[in-house]
């Protein structure tokens, strides 16, 4: 079947045709589509209350996430079942999900053995031909990869590390049916890929959905993955932050790009179990380009457990501007990422792959995206990476390969997940705490801390920083 490939540009560019690396002609259109954002803008943001209300039946039943302060016992389950129905139990983190009347939430919270309980929190993100090559290590340089110094225009990759041996769990919407046309099969760990659903509203439970991970209809997870390992653009290889890393797609967001913290928590626990089991000898990183306005108890417990098992978690800061960061990114043990863009964007029609970002990195060449969440009191913002006008696969019509500029902190986060993979390849014993400390220490300050955290991060600086940032204590954080 003949397939067409389209590249939709922002309104700032006029229609026309441009040759990429002599091999592939972009079909530019005069479409008025501007930029796809990974998360809803603040005025459009749908919170837990709104989504829960839309799903809630007349009886007022809701999903509730509960974390206990002691091991789960039959007596505790009996008391909880008297106030609702326990549906999903996670004994490793003393947590469970249940369905109960919203009027019983306060009674559940007051039980002596309950540490925390809250309504399930909303989270936002959004036969096949195979790619012949095994990786995109020799792929085309793009401005965002040049900016973080993993590639340079005309030189290809400029660092020794490529992510080989590191597993990255992309907790997102899963991958498109056509993922083999974008990515090498060797880079996707299909044997570990999973899909979880349910959660929220009146359900209060999480389901395992075999194989749904590769039947996504949203494209968000596919675009995020493309930043990490690169992608095939109609025969032209595009490089990635860590092109030899192995991706584990874990679908935790629905086909509309939204989901619930109980499902995200199950995905986190799944990655933790892999790290504790079959991947015990391999570095494991999680990327979560998703978030919501509140920190959920069961999600927090799952992250703490995963980090204790040796998993390193990277997450987007959120797209809420001055309204504050999203969670899980704002949670201190998570490496959170804000979004920056290039001042010289659109200087030429081919700027996104033909512009040579200056070396050494000059933070004056970049600016903080206006949508990128600023940290409020009690929130922790770590570093900044490219997150505006990032080109990657984004499929709107089944059977039509298409590529879009996307903007959002969801696009910034996988850059840092890739950098962390390079760091973990260099030292497989790398811990979450040490990785965060190194990134903070070597980032280039570029704005006020609430806007950019410790500054703009580059891969070469992070790798060099590993030699000096070994066992020094964590610096105190201003609150």
Distances, alpha carbon 172 to alpha carbons 255, 262, 332, in Å = 10, 14, 21
Q: Which residue blocks in 220-341 are alpha helix, DSSP H?
A: 220-229, 261-276, 297-308
Tokens read off for 249: 């797609």
Q: Are strands 151-152 and 5-8 parallel, antiparallel or unpaired?
A: unpaired
Cα(247)–Cα(418) distance, rounded to whole angstroms? 11
Residues 6 or more apart whose Cβ sits within 8 Å of residue 3: 181, 399, 400, 401
- Assign 195 to helix, strand or coil: strand
For residue 194, give the H/E element and its range: strand 194-198
d(CA 153, CA 268): 37
Q: Which of 220, 223, 415, 454 is catalytic?
A: 220
Please pick, among 172, 296, 380, 460, the residue that the annotation labels catalytic.
172
b/e code 133-143 from CB counts within 10 Å (16+ = b)? eebbbebbbbb
Buried b (16+ CB within 10 A) or exposed e, 410-422: bbbbbbbbbbbbb
Token code pair at residue 236: 């032209």
- Residue of 226, 339, 410, 413 marked active site: 410
258 labelled catalytic:
no
Judge whether 382 counts as a catalytic residue: no
- Cβ neighbours of 177 (radius 10 Å): 15
| 334 Cβ neighbours under 8 A, 6+ residues apart | 288, 303, 313, 314, 315, 328, 380
Q: Is 172 a catalytic residue?
A: yes
Which are the catalytic amino acids? 172, 220, 410
């Amino acid at each position: 079947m003949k397939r067409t490939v389209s590249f939709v540009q922002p309104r700032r560019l006029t229609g026309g045709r441009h040759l990429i690396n002599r091999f592939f002609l972009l079909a530019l259109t005069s479409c008025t589509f501007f930029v796809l954002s990974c998360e809803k803008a603040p005025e459009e943001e749908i919170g837990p209350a709104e989504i829960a209300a839309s799903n809630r039946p007349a009886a007022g039943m809701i999903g509730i996430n509960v974390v206990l302060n002691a091991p789960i016992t039959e007596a505790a389950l009996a008391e909880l079942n008297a106030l609702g129905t326990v549906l999903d139990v996670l004994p490793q983190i003393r947590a469970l999900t249940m369905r109960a009347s919203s009027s019983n939430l306060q009674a559940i919270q007051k039980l002596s053995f309950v540490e925390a309980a809250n309504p399930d929190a909303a989270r936002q993100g959004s036969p096949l031909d195979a790619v012949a090559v095994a990786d995109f290590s020799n792929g085309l340089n793009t401005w965002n990869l040049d900016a973080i110094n993993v590639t340079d225009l005309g030189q290809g990759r400029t660092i020794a590390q490529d992510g080989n041996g590191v597993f990255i769990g992309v907790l997102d919407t899963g991958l498109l049916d056509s993922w083999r046309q974008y990515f090498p099969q060797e880079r996707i760990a299909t044997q570990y890929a999973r899909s979880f659903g349910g959660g929220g509203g009146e359900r209060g439970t999480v389901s395992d959905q075999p194989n749904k991970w590769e039947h996504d209809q949203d494209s968000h997870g596919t675009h995020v993955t493309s930043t990490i390992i690169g992608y095939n653009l109609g025969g032209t290889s595009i490089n990635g932050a860590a092109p030899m890393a192995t991706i584990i797609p874990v679908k935790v967001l629905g086909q509309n790009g939204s989901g619930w913290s109980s499902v995200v928590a199950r995905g986190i626990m799944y990655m933790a179990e892999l790290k504790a089991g079959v991947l015990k000898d391999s570095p494991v990183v999680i990327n979560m380009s998703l978030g919501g306005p509140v920190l959920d108890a069961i999600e927090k417990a799952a992250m703490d457990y995963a980090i204790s098992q040796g998993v390193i978690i990277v997450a987007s800061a959120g797209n809420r501007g001055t309204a504050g960061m999203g969670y899980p990114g704002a949670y201190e043990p998570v490496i959170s990422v804000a979004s920056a863009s290039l001042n010289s964007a659109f200087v030429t029609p081919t700027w996104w792959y033909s512009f040579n970002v200056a070396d050494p990195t000059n933070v004056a060449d970049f600016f903080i995206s206006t949508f990128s969440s600023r940290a409020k009191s009690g929130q922790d913002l770590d570093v900044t990476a490219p997150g505006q006008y990032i080109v990657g696969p984004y499929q709107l019509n089944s059977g039509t390969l298409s590529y879009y500029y996307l903007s959002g902190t969801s696009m910034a986060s996988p850059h840092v997940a890739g950098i962390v993979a390079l760091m973990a390849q260099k030292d497989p014993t790398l811990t979450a705490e040490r990785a965060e400390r190194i990134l903070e220490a070597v980032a280039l300050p570029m704005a006020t801390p609430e806007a950019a955290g410790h500054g703009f991060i580059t891969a070469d600086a992070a790798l060099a920083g590993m030699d000096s940032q070994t066992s020094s204590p964590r610096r105190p954080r201003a609150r």
